[in-house]
Copies of this chain bind each other. A is one copy, B any other.
Amino acid sequence: MTTPDPLFMRRAIALAREGVAQGVGGPFGAVIVRDGEILAVGENRVTSSCDPTAHAEVVAIRSACERLGDFSLSGCELYASSEPCPMCLAAIHWARIDRLWYACSREDAADAGFDDALLYAELALAPDRRRLPGGQLLRDEALASFRDWAAKADHIPY
Contacts and interface: CB of A to CB of B under 8 A. Distances in A.
Chain copies in the assembled complex: 2
Interface string A104-144: 11101101110000011011100100001111111101111
Interface residues of A, number: 92
A55 B5 CA distance: 32
A145 B105 contact: no
A154 B20 CA distance: 10
A94 B53 contact: yes
Nearest to A78: B134
Contact of A113 (B13, B138, B157): B157
Contacts of A16: 142, 145, 148
A51 interface: yes
A20 B112 contact: no
A147 B101 CA distance: 21
Contact of A108 (B70, B93, B104, B143): B143
Interface string A25-47: 01111000000000000000011
Contacts of A73: 52
Nearest to A120: B123
